[in-house]
């Protein structure tokens, strides 16, 4: 092999390094006192609420550089569910002791309003406009709240077997039961508008913007599309069990992950059209898609966070947390991403231009290292080729 032959893989190596994913735009981390289970970013990307097994809920401003929370709420049990409105005027947190805390942005630092129930909270959702929110409990109770009325429930109903998942918009609430099936409610009524009967449980549910389509993820690996009156319109099977489901109602796109490591991007219409798919090395734990559909975030069991553009073929960056990531959330524009991990850490990534000066430095450093590696490899190749040529000449008596 000549020195020219060895330059080719060197150039290929440089191209590969130059084309690799960018450095993760990590802005800050906050370490809580125990496992961090839940996180939610406001639609405008300005604020984050997170919950931890240290019995606290944390409220952050995203543009700070230290990760110090603006507000820490002391709960009475593990805080594993949080929610926030699009404009961050309102946020909510729930603990496993059955308490729900309502946080109002104009009352930062003051004691939050509290609703106390007699059963653990297993689901908590808030409409994008912040006008309604709901909680689902292990004893099957569902409480529907109007924020204008504070923490006095507008109505209460019960599902047999307990509540697994909730999804809400301004007019509709979807709920799944631990005994199987889906229930669709108008937010003004406590009796279901329709039900979808199935022995299979659906740990995940998401509602389209017009509430005419509901997507559920099943423990058997099926992702199902339901129309009005609960008509089954389409299904896809990812194998394993569905472990993550998120919907962009603006773009009508759904990102789904399973315990088999499969990830699928679907278009939501009269059917579920597969746009893209991939398989990760370990099971998917959680995932999210931005409202504008331009950013997808997936966390797998080995602690790696993967972030993609509109296509799963366009991986923008990865970040290794070395800990199970239980929850990720993305702002509407896809620029701000938060994650909560078993290590107790809350991570904030911000892709806004110039929002993280260290990112540019990291990218330059990576490029410099890549160039240096190529130069070193090329120099080694030239020396090797020269020495080899000299030895051949000696052997041939030249």
Task: Evaluate if residue 378 carries a pLDDT over 60.
Answer: no
The pLDDT, as a whole number, for residue 383 is 42
Answer yes or no: do 86 and 197 share one domain: yes
Q: Given pLDDT bands bounded at 50, 70 and 90, which one contains residue 210?
A: confident
Q: How many domains does the chain have?
A: 2
Answer yes or no: do 264 and 394 share one domain: no
Answer yes or no: do 352 and 371 share one domain: no
The pLDDT, as a whole number, for residue 200 is 85
Answer yes or no: do 289 and 365 share one domain: no
The average pLDDT across 371-385 equals 42
From 78, 15, 13, select the one nearest 50 (Cα to Cα). 78
The average pLDDT across 363-383 equals 41
Q: What is the span of the domain harbouring residue 306?
A: 26-356
Task: Evaluate if residue 355 carries a pLDDT over 90.
Answer: no
Answer yes or no: do 16 and 64 share one domain: no
Which residue has better confidence, 360 or 220?
220
Answer yes or no: do 377 and 306 share one domain: no
The pLDDT, as a whole number, for residue 363 is 38
Which residue has better confidence, 398 or 92?
92
Q: Which residue has the tokens 């409220």?
A: 59
Task: Evaluate if residue 106 carries a pLDDT over 50.
Answer: yes
The pLDDT, as a whole number, for residue 327 is 98
Answer yes or no: do 313 and 183 share one domain: yes
Name the β-bridge partners of 29: 347
The average pLDDT across 126-150 equals 95
For residues 26-48, one letter each, b for 16 or more C-beta atoms within 10 angstroms of the residue's C-beta and e for the rest, the string is bbbbbebeebbbbbbbbbebbbb
Answer yes or no: do 372 and 349 share one domain: no
State the CATH number of the domain containing residue 331: 2.130.10.10
Q: Given pLDDT bands bounded at 50, 70 and 90, which one contains residue 364?
A: very low
Residue range 334-346, pLDDT digits in tens: 999 999 999 999 9
Answer yes or no: do 171 and 266 share one domain: yes
The pLDDT, as a whole number, for residue 198 is 78
Task: Evaluate if residue 124 carries a pLDDT over 80.
Answer: yes
Task: Evaluate if residue 384 carries a pLDDT over 60.
Answer: no
Residue range 245-258, pLDDT digits in tens: 999 999 999 999 99
Answer yes or no: do 15 and 37 share one domain: no
Whether residue 37 contacts residue 53, with contact meaning beta carbons closer than 8 Å, is answered with: yes
Lowest-confidence range among 7-21, 153-167, 197-211, 286-300? 7-21
Q: Given pLDDT bands bounded at 50, 70 and 90, which one contains residue 333?
A: very high
Answer yes or no: do 363 and 295 share one domain: no
The pLDDT, as a whole number, for residue 150 is 87
Name the β-bridge partners of 39: 50
Which residue has better confidence, 67 or 360?
67
The average pLDDT across 379-391 equals 43
The pLDDT, as a whole number, for residue 108 is 76
**Non-local CB neighbours of 181 within 8 Å, separated by 6+ positions:** 195, 196, 197, 198, 202
Answer yes or no: do 380 and 231 share one domain: no
Task: Evaluate if residue 2 carries a pLDDT over 80.
Answer: no
The chain-wide mean pLDDT, for the chain, equals: 86
The pLDDT, as a whole number, for residue 253 is 97
């Amino acid at each position: 092999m000549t020195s020219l032959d060895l330059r080719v893989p060197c150039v290929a190596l440089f191209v590969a390094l130059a084309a690799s994913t960018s450095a993760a735009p990590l802005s800050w981390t906050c370490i809580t006192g125990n496992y961090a289970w839940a996180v939610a970013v406001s639609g405008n990307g300005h604020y984050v609420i997170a919950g931890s097994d240290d019995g606290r809920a944390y409220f952050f401003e995203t543009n700070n550089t230290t990760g110090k929370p603006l507000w820490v709420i002391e709960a009475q049990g593990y805080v594993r569910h949080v929610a926030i409105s699009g404009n961050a005027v309102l946020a909510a947190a729930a603990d496993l002791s059955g308490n729900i805390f309502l946080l109002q942005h104009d009352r930062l630092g003051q004691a939050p309003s509290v609703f106390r129930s007699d059963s653990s909270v297993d689901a908590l959702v808030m409409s994008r406009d912040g006008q309604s929110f709901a909680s689902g409990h292990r004893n099957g109770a569902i409480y529907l709240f109007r924020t204008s009325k504070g923490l006095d429930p507008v109505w209460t109903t019960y599902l047999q077997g307990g509540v697994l998942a909730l999804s809400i918009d301004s007019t509709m609430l979807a709920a799944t039961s631990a005994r199987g099936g889906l229930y669709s409610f108008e937010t003004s009524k406590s009796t279901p508008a329709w039900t979808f009967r199935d022995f299979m449980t659906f740990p995940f549910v998401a509602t389209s913007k017009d509430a005419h389509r509901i997507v559920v993820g099943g423990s058997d690996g099926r992702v199902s599309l339901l129309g009005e009156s609960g008509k089954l319109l389409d299904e896809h099977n990812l194998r394993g069990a569905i472990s993550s489901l998120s919907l962009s109602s603006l773009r009508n796109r759904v990102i789904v992950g399973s315990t088999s490591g499969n990830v699928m991007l679907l278009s939501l219409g009269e059917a579920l059209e597969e746009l893209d798919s991939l398989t990760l090395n370990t099971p998917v734990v959680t995932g999210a898609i931005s409202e504008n559909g331009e950013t997808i975030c997936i966390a797998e069991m080995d602690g790696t966070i993967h972030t993609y553009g509109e296509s799963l073929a366009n991986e923008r960056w990865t970040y290794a947390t070395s800990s199970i990531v239980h929850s990720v959330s993305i702002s509407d524009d896809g620029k701000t991403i938060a994650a909560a991990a078993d290590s107790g850490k809350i991570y904030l990534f911000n892709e806004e231009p110039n929002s993280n000066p260290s990112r540019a430095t990291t990218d330059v450093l990576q490029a410099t290292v890549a160039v240096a590696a190529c130069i070193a490899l090329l120099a080694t190749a030239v020396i090797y080729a020269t020495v080899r040529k000299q030895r051949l000449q000696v052997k041939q008596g030249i």
